[in-house]
Amino acid sequence: MSFDSRHTPSYYAATARNAAPYPSLDGELTADVCVVGGGLTGVNTALELAERGLSVVLLEGRRIGWGASGRNGGQLIRGIGHDVSGFTRHVGQEGVHYLKQAGIDSVALVASRIAQYGIACDLRWGFCELANTPDQFATFKHEQDDLAALGYRPETRLVGPGQLHEIVASDQYAGGLVDMGSGHLHPLDLVQGEARAAHGLGVRIFEQSPVLRIEHGPRVTLHTAQGKVRASSLVLGCNAHLDELEPRLSGKVLPAGSYVVATEPLPEALATALIPQNMALCDQKVGLDYYRLTADRRLLFGGACHYSGRDPKDIAAYMRPKVLKVFPQLANVRIDYQWGGMIGITANRFPQVGRLSQHPNVYYAQGYSGHGLNVTHWTAKLLAESIALGHSQGLDVFSAVPHLTFPGGKALRSPLLALGMLWYRLREALG
């Protein structure tokens, strides 16, 4: 099996500060827990377990942060899924309240981890949710009221179209909801910094060590090309890259392509004019736009969500019209970086977290559907609690949410969903 283990040539990879070399697995090891996946889920689960005194081996097929964890838009935004109230009949009113609160507390957990381990990752507070239509803007008041009912302490404020120029220099929006309890950061620096912290606590990390086979039993055995790991418990944190390693889970998550560009560094006056308060921003379209400024004043702009399995031949050419629709004043600005990656989407847009009923010593978390920066940290905490303590009420709530298998099998799954999303986009365009 051949893997390209190099990081994609993104802005993040070019500016990463916390990378460290880890060997590939060669030989046989034993541990309390083996974690598969060196993204935010796996790294944070390993860190949480090490903090609780368990011995951990982490296996990553490529590099720490190689997947969506190190490629995303860097937006640290509260929330877990689209509308957790829809899960009331599965988790009850108390469960819904727990999920809403977890969507808030997970952001605070990321911030505390950054502070605890002194991780340099350009964390900055401030986010504005943008409405594409007046009807969307009207829903923001309900969202603000819901946050107030939860006791949300950071500042939130509605911004009408007449004042929106104070947030973003674009005429594309019908208003916004500012949230000073969300923000943005450098995600590859974050996950690599957390891996350093985990390694410092004794986690044995191996890169370029894809797992080829799992032997289930009271102790799980994982086989790589050059070694084996035997562990009492296994955590699968592979998300969109699980493939067929665990067939019982792979059909629940659809890998979807998302694409990002970063401009050349902008003059300070232009950067300040575009996003005066240096917030993260995203809109409400089906294939939403999300963007922010980097620490060196580049515009980092992402969007589109491809379910077809085929990436654009030229990501910069594909994304530039989207950038210019929002910011026509950037017509002559150079794009320095372009990249894409796969995010894990579930049918209900809610993360799938739990343990295998057939093998209760195998745990998993996947399918964050765009909320991975914060929710990975929360699910990692729940997985570690369950393994270390034998039970986690929070994990019970998450695992009570049912997840459908995408129809069509592996060959037809992406084309069928691509057709469905095309219908949603046409409906959106036609109002």
How far apart, in whole angstroms, are the C-alpha atoms of residue 64 and residue 40? 9
pLDDT score at 404: 87
pLDDT band of 423, cuts 50, 70, 90: very low
Judge whether residue 421 has pLDDT over 60: no
Judge whether residue 153 has pLDDT over 80: yes
Give residue-wise pLDDT tens across range 67-113: 999 999 999 999 997 789 999 999 999 999 999 999 999 999 999 99
Contact 342, 9 (CB under 8 A): no
Higher pLDDT, 223 or 427: 223
How far apart, in whole angstroms, are the C-alpha atoms of residue 222 and residue 15? 34
Contact 184, 280 (CB under 8 A): yes
Number of Cα atoms under 13 Å in the Cβ half of residue 228: 8
Weakest-pLDDT range from 1-10, 174-183, 319-328, 357-366: 1-10
Q: In the chain, what are the domain boundaries?
A: 11-71+188-253+348-400, 124-184+254-345+407-431
Judge whether residue 2 has pLDDT over 50: no
Higher pLDDT, 142 or 416: 142
Domains 11-71+188-253+348-400 and 124-184+254-345+407-431 share a fold: no
pLDDT score at 375: 98
pLDDT score at 425: 43
pLDDT band of 344, cuts 50, 70, 90: confident
How far apart, in whole angstroms, are the C-alpha atoms of residue 351 and residue 332? 40
| Percentage of residues of the chain with pLDDT beyond 70 | 93
How far apart, in whole angstroms, are the C-alpha atoms of residue 8 and residue 341? 9
Angle, alpha carbons 48-51-54 (nearest 5°):
90
Judge whether residue 295 has pLDDT over 60: yes
pLDDT score at 417: 54
How far apart, in whole angstroms, are the C-alpha atoms of residue 257 and residue 293? 22
pLDDT band of 316, cuts 50, 70, 90: very high
| Percentage of residues of the chain with pLDDT beyond 90 | 81
Q: Buried (b) or exposed (e) across 164-199, using 16+ Cβ within 10 A?
A: beebbbbeebbbbbbbbbbbbbbbbbbbbbbbbbbb
Higher pLDDT, 425 or 285: 285
Say if domain 124-184+254-345+407-431 classifies as CATH 3.30.9.10: yes
Give residue-wise pLDDT tens across range 228-285: 999 999 999 998 788 789 888 878 888 889 999 999 999 999 999 999 999 999 999 9
Q: What is the overall mean pLDDT for the chain?
A: 93
Task: Tell me which amino acid residue 148 is.
Answer: A
What backbone torsions phi and psi does residue 72 show, to the nearest 5 degrees? -75, 180
pLDDT band of 415, cuts 50, 70, 90: low
Give residue-wise pLDDT tens across range 117-140: 999 999 999 999 999 999 999 999
pLDDT band of 414, cuts 50, 70, 90: low
Give residue-wise pLDDT tens across range 170-208: 999 999 999 999 999 999 999 999 999 999 999 999 999
Contact 88, 96 (CB under 8 A): yes
pLDDT score at 254: 86
Domain 11-71+188-253+348-400: give its CATH code: 3.50.50.60
